[in-house]
Structure 1
Amino acid sequence: MNIFKLFFEHDLRLDELRERQLDRNIQDVTTTIEDFMKPDPTYSKFYLAGTVLEEEKFGLSVLKQYPEIIQALSEALTSHQAFLEDSPVTIQKAVSEAQVGWPILLSEKNDIEWNREELVVNHESNIGYKKAKLAEVLKSGDLVLYKEKAHQGFDLHLFSKKNIYPKMFYPLRELVDDDFRFFSINGKKIRTERKFYFETWTLERPPHGAEEVFRDTEI
């Protein structure tokens, strides 16, 4: 049995990604009525993970349907061009060739000028260290995709200013069959490792925030 999990978190405040100035002598604390009335800019993040249940293998890339998942992701983001290093490539090629922690940038523009090295995460850092730069990229409308190391293989972590969940949902829903079970999961409600791996102990009664997707499920 192949278990696919799409974690989503919406309406995350974009300004919380920016570096805070802790020196009160420097920090600008002036707030105007106009500032107060402006809606807070937000972003969404998505985490794509997988489990081969019988073999107890964990990682999106170990699923038998992994190529179809990447194809579905490509269909969902058909308006975006993927960039690896400075070269435009397909999403399939970008995910195949990118190292874990190296940013894959996706843009509706024909070219981008971001310094990718400023977005690289590794064993000495994580995305929390890149908040300010990530906020800058997302504010522009571009997306950032990372491969994240899993127990076996890797998962995918996607950041977007727009809520692209509906675009992703329907192509992925088409993959559902007897050997491919799809769970859509509110990441704000799944905060422990035990709940993250719920399929290993309570597959038929997933925790609150995790809902199974069927071929006729609508959003």
Structure 2
Amino acid sequence: MQHQITPPHNDKHRSHRAGWLRAAVLGANDGIVSTSSLILGVAAAGANKPDIMLAAFAGWAAGAMSMAAGEYVSVKSQEDVEKADLDIERRSLEENPEEERKELSLIYQQRGLSQPLADQVAQELTQHDALAAHARDDIGLTEISTAKPIQAAITSALLFSLGAWLPILFLWLSEPKLVIPLVSLATAFGLVVLGGVAGRLGGASIVRGALRVLFWGVLAMVVTAVIGSLVGVAV
């Protein structure tokens, strides 16, 4: 009977969150910032509220689809590269198994193991699952880092929509003359919350994460509002 090996203690690592957390933060941040910037830019140009709402809805729909498509294509390209590398490694294991075992042993020696121990580890891992050992220790592919294009696309689109609906909601509830201040305040609050949550989930400083996201979001909104105001005057 094979006994299950359990660790003596369970450290709470966060690297397994990297894939979906990156897509989630990117999607939500882009949804808040791009939609708010669009609203403020159009409002600063002097448009009426129905036109601003129309622009906001169009920006949300286009942005969500763009995020989904962009994430899928980019992460799918990463997945294609990973599969190609695994195919190369699989063929090499079939054609040169002994050379591949020596290569694995050399990797472990470079990490600090003695040659006899490195040879033993390489031999046992090769017998257990040679491709998995080379994927992890030679190529650098792990379950955590493996590309997941569908997950990235869905996460980005959903979080973009969630972020975009924050400024849209305040736009819908506000009086025409209060669109710019209310949407700006709501967006700033959303960015602070997003940055803090991202920092907490990623194991970083909550305050630093909140301020970082807030700074770049506010900068984007200010630049867009200025451009919209200049265009409105020119037109």
Q: Same fold (TM over 0.5)?
A: no
| Bigger-Rg structure (1/2) | 2
TM-score, L = length of structure 2: 0.23
TM-score by length of 1: 0.24
Of structures 1 and 2, the one scoring higher in RCO (CA 8 A, sep 6+) is: 2
**Higher share of residues assigned strand:** 1
